Every structure is written in structure tokens, then in C-alpha cells.
Structure 1
């Protein structure tokens, strides 16, 4: 199962706010021996969100979508998820209870009388529990307002303080079977005196010989320590790493390039 991340919000694309989700999600995955396979940034555009969610539901991937699940006019994720599924939007009974608990708690903290269940503010807040029919909730330890999931696509708020523990809950409670005691590994060389194009046949040969191993190349022209160089490496399952790395290193030396240093991650 691949792992994907969707981050929704005009404020991210405009630069008003910096994305904090991807780096944290990568760390959460790495701590469980997993890795991120793809990520998308989307605007607050219902048609765009619907199309990408339709792809996510069809992919069978583990996908976490961040943002847009509130109840203000610029929040479109809940509605777009329903449209992508061809499902109705319904008030989830457990979400309703959790939101009501939060409303009551807020009233008590402010020294107010018991809240009116039919008040306009109450009804607007309850909209945050309106999910596609058949959805399951994701608990929110910060303020009780839940996220939701359909299949292996999970929807959490845009606020990092809420989203990040909810991401961890998804990985631990719904996908513990994907955790690895030893995650994917990476080894690389700092190579000088060679061009990417010249090393491409070697990279292709290593990938062809070791199924499940990916070869990567990261060129740099102005590194403060190594100057012009290529970081050339392999990443993949531990059981294939040593042989694949040895083949790559031998190929670089046979080519006549210089290896400045070696790295393990």
C-alpha cells in the first residue's frame, strides 16, 4: 500500500502560511518504518478537490487529507469527498455527540448557561460533523471535533496541533500492520569527476539487477564542502541494500570517478 498526503488551502499556495504537515508526516512514517510515496497541494477549489479525492478513493492508497473540513464558506473538503464518492452528506451521530460535548464545555469555561441545542451557532458547529454517509470518525484529542475517514482515505483539520496527533492515531490504530521494525534504508556516495548522463547506464543496471531498489542522483554545482558533485545512492529494503550499494560503488570506481565520502541514512 502506498502512502499519500493531500494538503488543501489557498493560504498555503499563496504563502500566507507555511506547510507544516509534510515534514511531520514524513517523521511519523519514518518512526514506524514507513515512507511517503506522494503528496499534493490543492487550492480551496471544490472541483479540483473532488477530482483529486476521486483519484485517492480509487487508488487504494493510505491517504491523509489535511484542511478544509470546517464549516465556513471556504471549507469544501467534506462536500467534495461526498461528491467524489457519490454519497449523501449526513450528520454522524458520534460526531454530533462529541461536538455537543465541546459546545457544552466551552459554555462552562465561559461561565455561561447551558447552550441552546437549536441556536444558530450550535447548528453551524454541528455542520462540522456532517460527513459522507458511511464515514467513520477520527478522534481529535485537542478539542473533540472529529475528523472522518472513508476506506483508507482520512480527513483531518488544517491546524497542525490537531492534525498531527490524528495522523499518528491513523497510523497506529488503523494501519499498524504496515509498520516495519526496520524501515527502508538509504546509502549514498559523494561522487566527483562524473556527469549524471554518464552514470545513467550504471544506475539503470543496478535497478534492473535488484528489484525493489531505487537508485537516486542529486547533483550540486556549488556545495560549500564538495563543490560540483553528485550524491549517488540506493534506497530500499535492508536485505538488498548491501549488494546493491556494493554494485553501485564498484560501478562508480570502474568508471574512474572520485568518491569523496559515503553516507548511511
Structure 2
């Protein structure tokens, strides 16, 4: 039986990375993530905010690998040109996406912000692309062909990667469980790291949010292609949370 080898490349976009002003935190995370789910990360490129460079890199990488993950350049400013470049690479128009607009309007209605011209830039999606949900800050990424375009902000990129991971070809379905911590992310971070090391065949992520009382809280998501390993990691997380909450209560 022949096992398909699934490959990927990462394309990091942004002058701020190349200038050293921003230190990349996404490459290593994506590399670990791909390894855990059975995708072979074969190449990483970093390019400036230059249209020709981005288009050339997208076309070269998407022809060579199963998937291309891009990070950066989908924000509200004039130099956020990734969407434009991906659309050009695929030879399709860049449209204001109705669902993306609705997502932004709903998000801004809660925060009191305005859907101005700058924020509308983040609703421009290459025609034919599917949205990639952004549970952290609202503005979506997108997936067209084998190119998955994500934000450069690490927390947002990680959440987007979690959204697309179950849809990637990996040889087995990636299952997930979500656990509400009822604790701040900083209260469980160290202990969660220990659990992750003890369960190397799972992917564990933590996502801070404000709960119904507007108090800081955390959702912990654990993923695995093995049901038994998923259950074991979930049980370990739940046991860890019981101890952490007891310590917080006694403090």
C-alpha cells in the first residue's frame, strides 16, 4: 500500500520581518504543528512587501508542494498586499466578500469600532476562496487552491491554523476536544506545557477570551488523530485544571 506524502511550504511576508523590527514566531510553530499532524514542511521563504516577489513565490511554492501557508500582509494598511498578490497569482479578481463584511460588522458592533476604508481592506478576498475563521480578532484569512493565507500576528495565525488543520490531507482525520479552563491563560500556561510534553502525539492550544461575566478565561483545545491519545490528553488537562483551580482558590 502506497502512503501519500503530504508536503507544505511556509511563505512569510513582510518588510518588518526582513528588517528585524519584528521577530518571526510563526515558522517554528507551523513546523511543529505540521510534524504533529503528518505534514512534511519542506521549505520556508521570507519575502518583502513587494508584489512581484510575493506573486513569484506563491506560484513557485504552490506548484511544488501540497500546501502553502502564508503569514502576514492581510491587515488594514496600504502595505498589506498579500490578498492582492495571491489573487494575481491565481489570475482571479479580488472582491469584497459579503460574509467577511458581515463578520467584521458584527465584531465592530460589539467593540464600538467603525467599518472604515482601512478595515474594509480586510474583507477583500480572491474570488473563489473560502474564508478561514479568525476567532481572535474577527478579520478572516482565506484558502484558495492549495494556498492558505493567514495573519502574521502569532495568536491569530495559530487560531487560523487550528481552523484549517482538520481539513488538511494528513492520512487520518484530526479529532479535537475543547475544555473550558475557568482560569486565566497565565495561570495554566506552565502546567499545560508539562501536559503537552507528556502527550507528544497531540496538539494542545490555549485561547484566552472574556467569559459571560467579562472575566478573563481560557479555552484549551486538544487535537489528535488517535482517539485514545486524545482522551488521555483531555483527562490529563482536566486533572491539571482541578489542581490549578484549587491552588488559586487557596491563594
The structural deviation recorded for 1:103 is: 1.4
SS at match of 1:94: helix
Q: Could you tell me how far apart the structure 2 residues matched to 1:77 and 1:3 are?
A: 18
* C-alpha spacing 1:69/1:178, structure 2 compared with 1 (3 Å): farther
The structural deviation recorded for 1:124 is: 2.6
* C-alpha spacing 1:19/1:129, structure 2 compared with 1 (3 Å): same
Matched, 1:49 2:54: yes
Match in the other structure for 2:22: 17
Unmatched segments (≥5 aa) in structure 2: 1-5, 175-251
Unmatched segments (≥5 aa) in structure 1: 116-120, 182-265
Match in the other structure for 2:45: 40
Matched, 1:70 2:63: no
The structural deviation recorded for 1:17 is: 1.4
Match in the other structure for 2:94: 89
Instruction: Confirm or deny: 8 A CA contact 1:33 1:180 kept in the other structure.
Output: no
> In terms of Rg, which structure is larger?
1
TM-score by length of 2: 0.63
Instruction: Confirm or deny: 8 A CA contact 1:56 1:153 kept in the other structure.
Output: no
Matched, 1:102 2:96: no
Match in the other structure for 1:175: 168
Give the number of equivalent residue pairs: 169
Instruction: Confirm or deny: 8 A CA contact 2:39 2:170 kept in the other structure.
Output: no
TM-score by length of 1: 0.60
SS at match of 1:7: strand
Q: Could you tell me how far apart the structure 2 residues matched to 1:180 and 1:33 are?
A: 11
* 1:145 aligned to which of 120, 134, 139: 139
Instruction: Confirm or deny: 8 A CA contact 2:69 2:149 kept in the other structure.
Output: yes
Instruction: Confirm or deny: 8 A CA contact 1:46 1:80 kept in the other structure.
Output: yes
Match in the other structure for 2:219: none
The structural deviation recorded for 1:92 is: 1.2
